[in-house]
Amino acid sequence: MEKSAIFSRLKKEVKKTVGKYAPDSRVLEEAAGILHDEVEYYDWVGFYIAEPGEDELVLGPFVGEETEHTRIDYGEGICGQAAETEETFTVQNVDEEENYLSCSPEVKSEIVVPVFDGSEFRGEIDVDSHELAPFDRSDKEFLKSLAEELAPFFRSFS
Ligand code: SME
């Protein structure tokens, strides 16, 4: 199946989850589960929440291997750099990135998309893959649209 068809189906699935009455953390957990289970090369999917006034990210709901990186300073690793610039950061080969925090030796690539509530930076969607260079513009657009959809659910963490 075309990636674009998968992504448009998943957008609808996430929208359904968002429409259900559930605690915010549950919505993010379900969204992470959908992405992790339905996109073959999304091997770790999670949310980092911006700690207000701290220049620090705190790990929120995620699906995949446990990670020691439960708190990340802005500027540190892929996630911290994306927090500093507030821009999507795609790394197609993590071995080529010096400022990288490894969660698992199996991870080969990573994409981090910032989440905004209005103009306020609230955190990030983080996706790790065991494949080299699997991400293209459609992943970026897909994750950006989910970031908009999910932004309100970051509020309860901060
Ligand atoms: N690799 C990330 C750390 C978070 S883990 O991928 C879950 C980084 O370099 O910021």
Q: Return the residue whose CA atom lies nearest to atom 3 of ligand 1.
A: 101
pLDDT in tens, 95-104: 999 999 999 9
Q: Which two tokens stand for residue 65?
A: 């291997």
The contacts of residue 1 (CB under 8 Å, 6+ apart) are none
Note the pLDDT of residue 143: 98
| pLDDT confidence band for 106 (50 / 70 / 90) | very high
User: Would you say the pTM of this structure is higher than 0.85?
Assistant: yes
Task: Name the residue ranges covered by the structural domains of the chain.
Answer: 3-157
> Does ligand 1 come within 6 angstroms of the Cβ of 139?
no
Q: Return the residue whose CA atom lies nearest to atom 5 of ligand 1.
A: 103
d(CA 142, CA 60): 20
> Does ligand 1 come within 6 angstroms of the Cβ of 103?
yes
d(CA 18, CA 91): 29
Note the pLDDT of residue 155: 84
Assign domain 3-157 to its CATH superfamily.
GAF domain (3.30.450.40)
Give the strands of the sheet with 109-117, arranged side by side.
71-73, 56-63, 44-51, 120-129, 109-117, 89-91
What is the percent of the chain with per-residue pLDDT over 70, rounded to a whole number?
Answer: 99
pLDDT in tens, 5-24: 999 999 999 999 998 877 88
Q: What is the mean pLDDT of residues 33-48?
A: 98
Nearest in space to 124 (alpha carbons), one of 32, 46, 38, 43:
46
